[in-house]
A and B are shown apart, each in its own frame.
Chain A
Amino acid sequence: MYNILPLFKSEYSVGKSILTLDKTEEPINEKKAISIGTICKVNNLQVLYLVEDSLSGFLKSYKMCDELGIELRFGLRLSVVQDGTDKSEESYKNSSKIVIFLKNTAAYKDILKIHNQASTDFFYYEKRTDWKNLRNKWSDNLELIHPFFDGFIHKNTLTFAKCLPDDSFTTPVFFDESESHDLPFSPLIKKSLDNFIKNDNRNCEVVKGHSIYYYSSRQFKAYSVFRAVNNRGTLAKMNIDGFSSDSFGFEKWKLLNQ
């Protein structure tokens, strides 16, 4: 179906995307906020991969896909640590991201338990889970993904973090975005990913993905303004390390996926 998975993120991941889950409006008007539904409809996408930082947009995305006759594959992106009760700088430094995809309707109840604990008991600067509680709450209705950016491989390769995943309760999938976004450090992460997979005996699948936060490179400036404002910076000084690529748009995915 897709050579590279289009991994959409909407405005419900606060501060990360300028795409909406609003009513579809054709044709696509780049002078306004663009709905993911519109993009899917105009481009005849049958499956929507939506990776969000919270569950708050889940219902809206579900209804949108239902109206459009599109299959929704919803993933929740969370931080994971060794011990969720440890609210120290060390714990924060050694956190990494995971994505949990919902395989079916029953998965919603499972993800709610993980999400709610992450948002309350284990919250420290951000929603967090830990490997022990993830194992206890895990079910076959869920799929564990290690994302390319901010996952444990990225953190262990490019920072001094020591992220130790304890994901033996499932066989995770790894996303590979090394060829998608024209970033200078992607080859380093890719090399570490390849080494990890080679030495891991679980035959984990590596799937090519492409994160999407806006429609096209023509919206990169608007997206930059959005990110600068959210980061208390300006266009002249954004205060976001490595924020340099205009390749996180849908049109770039479309070009690469051909």
Chain B
Amino acid sequence: MSLNNLGEGFYRYDKEQLYATIDCESCNLNLGLLDNKPWQWSIIESKGEEVIQKHDLYVKWDSLVVSKDAARITGFNPNLIEQFGKTPKEVLDIIDSYFYSSNHHLILHNGLNFDVYLQNIHRRALGLKTDYSYISRILDTNALFKGYKLGMQPDSRANLIQYQYRLAGYRKKGLKSSLKFCCKEFDVEYLDNAAHSAIYDCEVLLKLWNKLKWKIEC
């Protein structure tokens, strides 16, 4: 046995790996209708644990209907969009530069069940085709956390996305995996009054990943 190769290639030791931690806010929880446009995207680019840059992007759609519940939960503020919003195309160009960068792994919380579909809605709203070719580079902390709590490990990096999909759809009474709960489990500060703002969620999500990656054996 070579002691030199223990943990080689594991996320926890890789200080050169580029990551894009991504979160979005949308009008509601629908995954397919173009009515549910994402109005905020936040991205934190990092290398290993070192933050390189942050993007907090408001999207200025021609029309947007945000449900009362979604507005309350996410702190939707039309004035911010009016003042700081970019065109949908400008925002998509930025977010897709990360989604389709083969060098970046994409950190999302429950992304396999939500954010990937919102990225697709954003593309379709601009007349672009669906393209989920980035799926295998996703690190869904919701799924990975469930795996950690259930004592399950992926059998290899190659099968990590299949492992995550199994866990993403898995529900068990008592198995909590909200971002707030995950943060509590790993002693990451999570402020309720700041939560669900995309950029804040990205910041705590990145901190969560930097702790959760030590529990993943690949």
Contact = CB atoms under 8 A, between A and B. Distances in A.
Say whether A and B bind each other.
Answer: yes
B186 to A, nearest CB: 25
A242 B113 contact: yes
A241 B30 contact: no
B165 A188 contact: yes
Contacts of B106: none
A220 B165 contact: no
Given A158-B162, A184-B116, A185-B165, A224 B30 contact: yes
A243 interface: yes
Contact of A188 (B35, B120, B161): B161
Main secondary structure of the interface of B (DSSP, over half): loop
A199 interface: no
Given A188-B161, A244-B120, A238 B170 contact: no
Interface string B136-168: 000000000000000000000000011001100
A213 to B, nearest CB: 13
Given A157-B162, A184-B132, A244-B120, A224 B32 contact: yes
For this complex, into which size category does the number of interface residues on chain B fall? Answer: 20 to 34
A210 to B, nearest CB: 16
Given A159-B169, A159-B170, A242-B31, A236 B67 contact: yes
Contacts of A171: none
A42 interface: no
Given A236-B67, A241-B113, A158 B169 contact: yes
A26 B192 CA distance: 57
B162 A238 contact: no
B166 A159 contact: yes
A157 B116 CA distance: 20
Contacts of A158: 162, 165-166, 169
Q: By CB atoms of chain A within 10 A, which of B30, B69, B166 has the most?
A: B30
B28 interface: yes
Interface string A166-210: 000000000000000011110110000000000000000000000
Main secondary structure of the interface of A (DSSP, over half): loop
Interface in B47-73: 67, 69-70
A241 B29 contact: no
Interface in A123-181: 157-160
Contacts of A184: 112, 116, 132, 135
A235 interface: yes
Interface string A234-258: 0111100111111000000000000
A154 to B, nearest CB: 11
Interface in B10-35: 27-33, 35
Interface string A210-248: 000000000011001000000000011110011111100
Nearest to B121: A244
B31 A238 contact: yes
B130 A182 contact: yes
B216 to A, nearest CB: 18
Contact of A160 (B69, B130, B170): B170
B100 interface: no
Contacts of B200: none
A183 B131 CA distance: 9
A103 to B, nearest CB: 35
B117 A244 contact: yes
B32 A244 contact: yes
Contacts of B112: 184
B148 to A, nearest CB: 16
Nearest to B27: A236
A62 to B, nearest CB: 34
B74 to A, nearest CB: 13
Contacts of B117: 244
Given A183-B132, A236-B30, 4 more contacts: A159-B169, A182-B120, A224-B33, A236-B67
24 contacts: A158-B162, A158-B169, A159-B170, A160-B166, A182-B130, A184-B112, A184-B135, A185-B165, A187-B135, A221-B33, A224-B32, A235-B28, A235-B30, A235-B35, A236-B27, A236-B36, A236-B67, A236-B69, A237-B30, A238-B29, A242-B113, A244-B120, A245-B32, A245-B130
